[in-house]
Amino acid sequence: MLVEPLAKTAKALSGKRFTVQYPEEREHVPDSYRGKLRLDMETCISCRACALICPNRTIDMVDVDTKRGKTLMPQVNLERCLFCGLCEEICPPKCLTLTKSYDFDVYDRRELVKRPEELR
């Protein structure tokens, strides 16, 4: 009665691990993976297309001081983002892109709202 559970436990412990030692080891992500958004502030033309197409209203346009003066740039709430990729597809200068980064560790939910400067 006790031998069978102990044998299963020993087999599980001697087998391959199910988790990786994050952040030292990273999982392989497929080519189609959509992670955090990245913004190239130099090429953004403030067209608001990303904010208008977003189905979850994740993107808000906020004022940012740039070399060109005050400009509207996208601010993203990653907590609401569906990672659908519509903002990346609609962006005329292709300044908003989805990366393969999956680091979303924060202590406060408010840290998931990323200003344009934080999306670099």
DSSP output for 43-103: T-----HHHHH-TT--EEEEEEEETTEEEEEEEEETTT-----HHHHH-TT--EEE-S---
Residue with tokens 């990303």: 50
φ/ψ of residue 83, rounded to 5: 55, 40
Domain boundary assignment for the chain: 29-104
Instruction: Check residue 60 and give its pLDDT.
Output: 95
Residues contacting residue 47 through CB under 8 Å, at least 6 positions apart? 92
pTM of the predicted model, to two decimals?
0.74
Residue with tokens 């069978």: 4
Average pLDDT, the chain: 88
Of the ranges 3-7, 69-73, 110-114, which one carries the lowest mean pLDDT score?
3-7
CATH number for the region 29-104 comes to 3.30.70.3270
- For residue 5, pLDDT over 80 is answered with yes
